[in-house]
Amino acid sequence: MVRLFDEVRHRCPDHHHAHQLIVARLAERRADAGRDPLHEVYDFANWAAEQAPADSPLAILPVVAHAERYRVLAAAGAEPADPVASGHWVGRRARQVMKAAFDWWLEWERDDHPRRFVDLNFLAHAKFCEGRGAEAAALFHRIGEHATPAPWSYPDRDPYQAFSAARASALGAP
């Protein structure tokens, strides 16, 4: 796995999808460790985000790592199936990661990145689960109806129902 990822990074250092795949794989290691703030997935995501250019969407990778780790922990029964009730997004580390990613997004003005909706969905999901309704609403406005299966399906939910309910709640729709 590491050699293959190194080869991808050698050819395309900012390969968005490759980074998200490695984060998903790393998140699956040591499910029994619970909410370990030093889990390797967090270190990798932070390292990759720091190595990327300032305008790279890899700045969102720590948010993706947080969601992927939740997916693994919820599937193992270590977190509640309801991501909002889990409290996974309200700890100190989570708040720092979400704030940095949201601040980056406020300055990112590119609407041409092919995977922008993937990133925006991860960030909207995190902000909604964190209880930051106004920030989630801003992201939902940007996303429109472009729901992505991940992370709304985590741990085992209908992604479009979860997205629609979160979007309606954040936007104040009945």
Question: Would you list the domain boundaries of the chain?
Answer: 2-171
Q: How far apart are CA 127 and CA 83, in angstroms?
A: 11
Tell me the mean pLDDT in the region 106-121: 80
Mean pLDDT, rounded, for 151-173: 95
Q: b or e along 72-100 (b: 16 or more beta carbons within 10 Å of the residue's beta carbon)?
A: bbbeeeebeeebbebebbeeeebeebbeb
- Contact indicator for 121, 163 with CB cutoff of 8 Å: yes
pLDDT class of 141 with cuts at 50, 70, 90: very high
Q: Average of pLDDT values for 59-85?
A: 95
pLDDT at residue 9 in the model: 67
Cβ atoms of 119 and 57 within 8 Å: the answer is yes
Which residues touch 23 (CB under 8 Å, ≥6 apart)? 41, 44, 45, 61, 64, 65, 68
pLDDT at 111: 74
Among 81, 122, 94, smallest CA distance to 37 is for 94
Is residue 53 very low, low, confident or very high in pLDDT (cuts 50, 70, 90)?
Answer: confident
pLDDT band at 64 (very low <50, low <70, confident <90, very high): very high
Q: Quick one: pLDDT band at residue 56, thresholds 50, 70, 90?
A: confident
